[in-house]
Amino acid sequence: MTPPGHFRKTSPGTGRIILIAVLFLLVIVLLHPAVADREVRVALQEIPPSVYTGSQGEPAGIFVELIQEIGAKEGWKIVWVPGTLSESWARLSSGQIDLLMSVTATPERESLYDFSNEPAMSVWSQVYAPPGSEIKTILDLDEKRVAVLKGDINAYAFRDYAEKFDIDPLYVEFNTLDDLFRGASAGGADAVVAFNIAGRETADKYSLLETNVLFNPTALGFAVREGQNQDILAAIDRYLAAGKSDPSSQYSLIMRKWFGHEASWTVPYYLWWGLGVAVGLVAIFVVMSGVLRREVRKKTTEISRQNEELRSHVASRLDAEKRLVRKNEELQAANEQMAAIEKELRLKYAELGRTQQTLTDARKRLTMLNTLTFQELQNGLFSLNGLLGLAKEEKCSEQGRTYIEKGESILTSLENSLRVAKNYQELGINKPQWQDVNSVFLYAISHLDLSGISRTVVLDGIEIYADLLLENVFFEMVKNVIRHGAGADAISLKYRRGDDRVTILFEDNGPGIPAADKERIFNEGHSKNMGSGLFLAREVLAITGIALRETGEPGRGARFEIFVPEGVFRFPGERKT
């Protein structure tokens, strides 16, 4: 017992235990921040409407809304890092930020950065100029001051484009999109190069006009430092892929907010009929229940009699069971033989998997080679077509103009063949999916200029089971209106439901298609610069048994009817889980 006024001396073992406990608590405190939400540093450059700072100082724009939605789903803490585009590229290279938005991939950039596989949207480069500038073609920019955004892909693409036409502009670099257009408006430059979605709104703000100089069709997406933050890109790709296939997704809502509109929706008449039929069935069920109860009592007596008869068959069934035992032994031997076959099949399947992987890798390389080849051919044809157009404007003999026109016809045919080959390369590769027709139509026309054409869309949310190239079908039909529907100022997309199919109707109020050409327009390589677009459209639909036909009246507009058979269409409320 310890005397009063004295303390018991602590043993060395007890001291070590206390020290270990203190260190354990210190490690928990130090590691606690690791369980917090992941912090993702995102560049905030000024490129409206893709990404910019709002009037209240808040991040705004299409890509801002997309990454905020993805971050909320993934549990990210978004940290915005303001700066110019060139500053943001430098910060991404040094690791000061994790993600850069609204950018496009190039061979040079892909050696330093990794990019999302799913594009967020499609854009093209365009030249803007002050009123009265007389800039109509790329040649008008020779020795002119051209304003470009520092670090922007448009600057690099325009330099390549200018070299092909052998012109020598003077480049003036700016740090922000607003400075870019303000400088040209104040006389600091003769023209501006920017993406069409960014330039349209800013050009109006500074009283600049769009020119006919368009080039560099491309897609915008996301970028990270090479070999890092691959989970961020994977999450973005999942979100974009799922959003494009779901018309009710937040991605689709964001796209409609910035580029499209909501199609009208009404309660289908057949739902009211269905409700009436359901009420009638309930009434019939109540009546039948009473009848069935009486029948059950009768059948119960009959079953009791039959039960006695069944007992007499038990003995014979015992003999049958003995025979079944012998058969089971035979089946067991067969099962062992099947097991050996299964083992052999597994080995074959593993070998097939290795072969499949080899084929997949080869296909990826071939697809990359085809993509680079198509891009180079497309740029070359685009440049050659521009040169022929310029040559046509120069003074030359009538025979020379005839040769130029023939050359333009050949180029148009080559461009159509190139586009068909590229689309045919992807035809049928991916599994068909259920697709919302309204969303696919909106995405298709986002690539076209319909400023002078009104649109009426009434689809009631119909979905069809089709190849992923369905967007190309509507793109070709609308493009046909723009190119060949002289005087057409209105198009409509509606549907008509029959007993065993749905017919989707696409109509315009142009001159229509002559009766002799109604079937020939779907032939490969049809004349009048129509190419093989409608031929490919019919092939895309035919993959899932959908037919395409032109039934308009000449002189009253074209009408394309898409016949969707039973089982290949559905409406809201009919989706199977």
- pLDDT, one tens digit per residue, over 532-541 is 678 889 999 9
d(CA 176, CA 506): 42
SS3 212: strand
Q: What is the gyration radius of the CA atoms in the chain, in angstroms?
A: 34
Residue 375 and residue 483 share a domain: no
Question: What backbone phi and psi angles, to 5 degrees, belong to 189?
Answer: -155, 160
The answer on pLDDT for 577 being more than 50 is no
d(CA 94, CA 88): 10
Is the residue at 448 inside a domain? yes
**Boundary of a domain, candidates 426, 457, 474:** 426
Same domain, 458 and 439: yes
Instruction: Tell whether 78 is covered by a domain.
Output: no
The pairs formed by 162-166 with CB atoms below 8 angstroms and a separation of 24 or more are: 162/138, 164/379, 164/383, 165/138, 165/139, 165/383, 165/386, 165/387
* 90-101 pLDDT, tens digit each: 999 999 999 999
Residue 539 shares a structural domain with residue 486? yes
Strand partners, 225: 113
CA 47 – CA 348 distance, rounded (Å): 54
CB atoms within 10 A of CB 569: 21
Q: Structure tokens of 151? A: 């670090």
On whether residue 359 sits in a domain, the answer given is yes
| Percent with pLDDT over 90 in the chain | 47
> Could you tell me the sign of the dihedral formed by the alpha carbons of 485, 487, 490, 496, in that order?
negative
Residue 416 and residue 497 in one domain: no
Q: What is the pLDDT of residues 121-156, one digit of tens each?
A: 888 999 999 998 889 899 999 999 999 998 888 998
Whether 93 is covered by a domain: the verdict is no
Q: Which of these three, 362, 397, 426, is where a domain ends?
A: 426
Rounded to 10°, the helix 398-426/314-393 angle is 160
Is residue 337 domain-shared with residue 438, that is, in the same domain? no
Q: Does 355 map to a domain?
A: yes
The pLDDT of residue 4 is above 50: no
Rounded Cα distance, 452 and 489, in Å? 6
446 and 561 fall within a common domain: yes
For tokens 């309660």, the residue is: 267
Q: In which element (H, E) is residue 222 found?
A: strand 209-225
* Total residue length of the chain: 577
What is the C-alpha separation between 159 and 168, in angstroms, rounded? 9
- Residue 493 neighbours by CB distance under 10 Å: 23
Task: Provide the pLDDT confidence category of residue 264 given band limits of 50, 70 and 90.
Answer: very low
**Res 21: pLDDT:** 62
Give the CATH number, domain containing residue 532. 3.30.565.10
User: Which of 294-308, 411-425, 498-512, 524-538: highest mean pLDDT?
Assistant: 498-512
Residue pointed to by tokens 């020795």: 143
270: confidence class by pLDDT, cuts 50, 70, 90:
very low
Say yes or no: 355 and 459 in one domain. Answer: no
Q: Is residue 388 part of a domain?
A: yes
Instruction: Give the integer Cα–Cα distance in Å for 321 and 333.
Output: 19
The predicted pLDDT at position 75 comes to 94
The DSSP symbol for 2 reads P
**Whether residues 398 and 467 fall in one domain:** no
Number of domains within the chain: 2
CB-based contact 423:536 (threshold 8 Å): yes
**What confidence score (pLDDT) does residue 59 get?**
96
Is residue 411 domain-resident?
yes
Looking at the fold, whether 417 and 442 belong to one and the same domain comes out as no
Residue 320 pLDDT: 86
Which residues 6+ apart lie within 8 Å of 29 measured at CB?
none
d(CA 111, CA 113): 6
Q: Which domain range does residue 448 map to?
A: 433-570
Cis link prior to 511 (omega < 30° from 0)? no
Q: Do 376 and 399 have their domain in common?
A: yes
Q: Is 528 exposed, middle or buried (0-12, 13-18, 19+ CB in 10 A)?
A: exposed
DSSP 546: -
**And the tokens for 263?**
């199609």
Query: What confidence tens digit (pLDDT) does each residue in 317-345 have?
Result: 888 888 889 898 999 999 899 999 999 99
Range with the poorest average pLDDT among 13-17, 165-169, 313-317, 389-393 = 13-17
Asked whether residue 48 is domain-assigned, the answer is no
Is there a single domain that holds both residue 416 and residue 481?
no
Query: Same domain for 442 and 550?
Result: yes
Measured between alpha carbons, how far is 64 from 69 in angstroms, rounded to an integer? 9
Our CA dihedral for 451, 457, 462, 465, rounded to 10 degrees, sits at: -40
| 71-92 exposure pattern, b = at least 16 Cβ within 10 A, e = fewer | beebebebebbebbbebbbebb
Determine the average pLDDT of the residues in 216-226: 93
Amino acid occupying residue 529: N
Dihedral sign for Cα atoms in the order 61, 63, 64, 68:
positive
